[in-house]
A and B are shown apart, each in its own frame.
Chain A
Amino acid sequence: MIALATIPVATLLVFFVLPVGGMVTRGLWVEGSFEPLGALEVLTRSRTHRVLWFTAWSAAVATLITLVLGLPLTFVLYRVRLPGRQPLRALLMVPFVMPTVVVGVAFRTLLAPSGPLGALGLDGTPTAIVAAMVFFNLAVVVRTVGGLWEHLDPRREQAAAALGASPWQVLRTVTLPALAPAVVSAASVVFLFCATAFGVVLTLGGLRYATVETEIYLLTTQFLDLRAAAALSLLQLVVVTGLLTAAHLGRSRREQSLDRSSARSVARQLRRSDLPALAASLLALLLVLAPVAALVVGSLKVGDGWGFGHYRALGSRREDSPLLVPVSEALVNSWKVAVDAALLAMVLGCLVSVVVSRTGRGRRERRTLAVLDGVFMLPLGVSAVTLGFGFLITLDRPPLDLRSSPLLVPIAQAMVALPLVVRTVTPVLRSIDPRQRQAAAALGASPLRVLGTVDLPTVWRPLLAATGFALAVSLGEFGATSFLSRAEQPTMPVVIYQLIGHPGADNYGMALAASVVLALLTTLLMAVVERLRFGSVGAF
C-alpha cells in the first residue's frame, strides 16, 4: 500500500524539498564555508522578535475567529434546510480566488478614513489584517468540516437529546467529538494559511506590521540577505513541523468510525434554538459579502455615473488599454492552468489520502504513515518566495531543466492545493469503518474492488469538493504565477494586478470589473460542483 505513495513523495522531493533545500543551503554557505551559526544571528535581532510575535498571535487569533464563525456557518449551510444554501456555499468560495492585491484594496476602500466604514478607525490596524485572514479562510472551515458534518448520522444526537441532554450538551459531547478530526484538520490548514499570509499583510499592514513571510520576501528580493532569509525559512519549517505533530496527536486521539446517513434525512427544519448559530452565520456572511459588494459597486462606477462600461472595456482591445491580451483570453489561460493544477493535485492527493488513511500494521508502519501525512502539509507552511527562488536555482539543469517550462505554474499551484485535497478527503476515508473493507475483502473482493464499492460511494462527494478547492486555489493564485509565468499567457490575477498598477480611474474600474468576473466564474463553478452533488442525492 505504501508503494502507492512513491509518486507523490517523489513529486514533493523534486518540487519542494530540493528547491527549499537549495535556497537554505545557499543562505548558510558563506564564502565557500558552511556557517549555520552565523545565520542564527538574525534570530537575535529585536525586529525579528517583533515579526515572530506578530505572526504567531495574528495567525492564532485569526484561526480562532475563523472557527468560531465558520462552525455555526457550516452547521447552517449543511444541516439546516434553508432556502438558498447551495448558492451561499458556492459564494463562500469567492474570497479564495480573489487576488490578494484586490482584496487588500477592497478592504482598504471600505476601511480607509474616506470609506463607508472609515469611522471605525480600523485602517492600518491588526484588526483589519485579522479580518482579512478570516475572510480568506472561512471557506476552508466550511468545506472541510461540511463534508463530514453533512453525513453525520443524526440518530446519536437524537438519542442524546431523548435522554435529556440539552442542545449545548449534545453539541459538546456528541457532535463536536465526532467532527473533531475535520475541525483540527481545518484549523491546522487555516493557521498555516494565516501564518504565511503575504499580500494581504503587506497591503493592510502598511509597513508597521510584518510577518515572517513578508520579512523573508523583503530580505530575499530587496536586501539579498539570503542568510537571514534562510534562518527564517528554517524557523518556519521547525515551527510548522511542531504544529503538525501537535495537530496529528490531537486528531488521531479523536478519530473514530462514524455512522453515516444520507443527506436527505439529515438536513432539518430551522428551530428556535438555531438562532445563535444563525446570528454567527450572518456575521460571517457579512464579512465575506461586504468587501465583495465594495468591489461590485466600484466596478459599476463609470465617471460620475453608473454603468457596465468597465466590463465592456474588458473584452475590447482599447487603443490605450494597458492589457496585453483581452480579459477573455486571460480567463481561458487561467482555466487551462487551473485544470492542469487541479488534475495534478487530485491525482497526487488521492494517492496520499488512500495511503495515509489506512491503519498501519505495527508501530513502525503507523509512524511512517503519520509522518507521510504531515509531510504533505509542509508546502503550506513554508515561504513561497523561498520556494520560488529555489525553483530558479535548483531546477536549471537536466534532467530537471524545468525552470522555463510552462508546466511549472500548474505544478507550483498543485503543491499548494495538494494539502487541501488531502485534508478534505482523508478524514472522510478514515471515518469509514475498516471492518467494511475487511468484510468485503473476506468475501473475495480485490483491493481495487474494495476501493470501488466501499470507499468510493462515500468519498466521491468530498472528492468533488476537493476538486473545487483545487480549481479555486489555482484560479486565484498570484504569487507563484507572476513569478513563473510567461508574459504572453497571463492569468486573470496577473492581468488584474497589471490593471490596478496603472493610474487612471478607468484602469482601476477595469481591475475591479475583472475581479468581479473572476468571482462570478468561481461562484458558477462551485455552484456546478454543488449541483452535481445535489443531483445525485436522490440515488442514495
Chain B
Amino acid sequence: MSVLPARMPTVVVGCVVTLGLLAGCALESPPEDPPTDAVQPVVVATHDSWNMSKKVLREFTDETGYDVVVQPSGDAGALTNKLVLTKGSPIADVVYGIDNTFASRAVDEGVLAPYTPSDNAGADFEPQATDVAEQVTPIDYSDVCVNVDDTWFAEHDLAPPETFEDLIDPAYKGLFVTPGPPTSSPGLAFLIATISKFGEGGWQDYWQALLLDNEAQVTSGWSDAYQVDFTAGGGDGDRPIVLSYASSPPFTIPEDGDEPTTSALLDTCFRQVEYAAVLEGAENPEGAQAFIDFMLGSSFQEALPDNMYVFPVDPEAELPELWAKYAEPASDPWPMPESQIAELRADWLRAWAELAGQ
C-alpha cells in the first residue's frame, strides 16, 4: 500500500473544482417551470412522434394566455394505456394522438370527457359510434399503404404490384417487408386493412400465403423495415416493396430530380385518424378545450404535414407544395369500425402471432 501521494493536494483541489462545476450544472438543470402569470398551463399528453414548431404553440399562448406543456408518452398504445392506468388522477388536461385503433378502449374505460368544438373542421372523420364521437375530436389522419420503389421495378423490368392479391403473386416473392402488427402501429393498420378486405374467415389464409409462400419479411418497427430493408430507404436494402404511408413518396425525390422514385399503392390503405380529447378530471378543462379548438385552426392544421407527416382533417387547410403534388390520400381506404377493433384486436394479434411464429 502506498502512502499518501505527494501531489494529493492538487488532486483534491482538482476534484473539488470538478465537483463544483458539475454541481453548478446540476443546480441549473431542473428546467425552470415556465413562468406562470397566475395562468394555469395546459398539459398535453401525446405520443412520442409529437413535433410542433414553437412558433405555432406561441400563437396559442398569445391568443389564450395558456402555456403549453407537452408530455410525450410512448406510442399510441402506450399512451392510451397510460391514460387508463392513471384514471382519476390524469397525467394531463388534454390528450392528442389516440387513434381509431385505440379510441374505443379509452372511451370504454371512461378516461375521456365529452367535448365537441363548435367549429368541427374534421366532422367527416368522426368515428361512427356516437358515444365515441362525442368525446373525441379528429385532428389529423394518415393513410397506411404499401409503397413500392418504382426505380427498382423499372430496372428489373417488372410491373410493380397494385393490390393485396398481387403481394402473394409468386412474381413478387421475397420482395415485401412490413413492420409486425403487435409491435408497430402501421403494422397493425395493415393487418386491419387485410382483415377488412378478406374478412374474418379469409385473412389468416392470406397472411399464410404472404409470409410462408411469398416470404414477406416482418420487422419489429417501421424504421427497420423502411430504413434497413427497403431498397429506397436510407440503408439501401434489398426489398422494393414496403409498408409505409401515402405521404412517404415526396421524401424520396432525389436531389437532382423533381419526382419521387417511390409511390404508394392506394388500394391497400387503412386510414389512421388521430383524435384529441379532454381528459376526465382534468385540472384545466377550459384550457384543454381551447387547445382542441386551436388544433383545428388553420395555423396548427397547416403545420401538421411538415411537423408530423400527417394530413390535416380540415379540407380547407393548405398542403405544402410537395404534398399537394405527390402525397395523395386514398380515396377509398379499407374501413373497420372502432368498436370492432377494440373488441377483437387482442384476438387478431394472438392469431397473427400464432401463424407468424410458425
- On A, residues with C-beta under 8 Å from B are 26, 47, 101, 104-105, 108-109, 112-115, 202-203, 205-208, 218, 220-225, 260, 262, 298, 303, 319-320, 322-324, 335-337, 339-340, 342-343, 389, 392-393, 396-397, 403-404, 406-407, 433, 436, 453, 457-458, 460, 482-483, 485-489, 494, 497-498, 500-505, 507-509, 512, 532, 536, 538-540
Contact = CB atoms under 8 A, between A and B. Distances in A.
B48 A497 contact: yes
B222 A407 contact: no
Contact of A508 (B48, B74, B234): B234
Nearest to B185: A222
A339 B29 CA distance: 9
28 contacts: A47-B353, A105-B223, A108-B228, A112-B238, A114-B235, A114-B237, A202-B183, A203-B220, A207-B182, A208-B356, A221-B77, A221-B81, A223-B349, A224-B84, A224-B105, A303-B255, A339-B26, A389-B81, A396-B89, A486-B69, A486-B72, A487-B70, A488-B70, A494-B48, A498-B51, A504-B251, A539-B5, A540-B2
Given A486-B70, A508-B235, A109 B228 contact: yes
Contact of B183 (A218, A407, A497): A218
A223 B7 CA distance: 61
A536 B5 contact: yes
Nearest to A500: B223
A222 B50 CA distance: 19
Nearest to B242: A503
Given A112-B228, A262-B2, A498 B49 contact: yes
Contacts of A509: 234
Contact of A202 (B26, B86, B221, B233): B221
B309 A502 contact: yes
A26 B85 CA distance: 9
Contacts of A206: 180, 217-220
Interface of B: 1-2, 4-8, 11, 14-15, 22-23, 25-26, 28-31, 43, 46, 48-54, 69-75, 77-78, 81-82, 84-86, 89, 91, 105, 180, 182-183, 217-224, 226-229, 233-238, 244-245, 248, 251-252, 254-255, 306-307, 309, 346, 349, 353, 356-357
Given A112-B235, A339-B22, A404-B71, 13 more contacts: A47-B353, A101-B221, A108-B224, A203-B221, A207-B356, A221-B78, A225-B346, A303-B254, A393-B85, A433-B1, A500-B227, A501-B49, A503-B244
A367 B306 CA distance: 60
Given A339-B22, A488-B70, A536-B7, A222 B43 contact: no
Nearest to A202: B220
A370 B295 CA distance: 56
A222 B77 contact: yes
Given A392-B91, A404-B43, A406-B31, A457 B4 contact: yes
A397 B89 CA distance: 9
B251 A503 contact: yes
Contact of B71 (A112, A340, A458, A486): A486
Contacts of A501: 49, 222-223
A-B residue pairs, 6 tightest by C-beta? A508-B234, A504-B251, A114-B238, A487-B70, A539-B5, A539-B7
A526 to B, nearest CB: 15
A422 to B, nearest CB: 20
B7 to A, nearest CB: 4
A337 B105 CA distance: 35
B11 A487 contact: no
B28 A320 contact: no
Contacts of A497: 48
A207 B216 CA distance: 13
Contact of A503 (B75, B91, B226, B357): B226
Contacts of B309: 322, 502-503
Contacts of B6: 539
Contacts of B49: 498, 501
A483 B91 contact: no
Given A260-B1, A320-B306, A223 B346 contact: yes
A298 B235 contact: yes
Nearest to B29: A336
Contacts of A260: 1-2
Contacts of A494: 48
A416 to B, nearest CB: 18
Contacts of B254: 303
B85 A105 contact: no
Contacts of B227: 105, 500, 508
A105 B74 CA distance: 20
A494 B251 CA distance: 22
Contacts of B252: 503-505
Contacts of A485: 72
Nearest to B147: A503
Nearest to B89: A396
Nearest to A218: B182
B228 A343 contact: no
Contacts of A396: 86, 89, 91
A489 B226 contact: no
A222 B25 contact: no
A343 B23 contact: yes
A523 B184 CA distance: 33
A503 B11 CA distance: 50
A230 to B, nearest CB: 12
Contacts of A406: 30-31
B2 A339 contact: no
A335 B234 CA distance: 29
A504 B99 CA distance: 24
B78 A457 contact: no
Contacts of B71: 404, 486-487
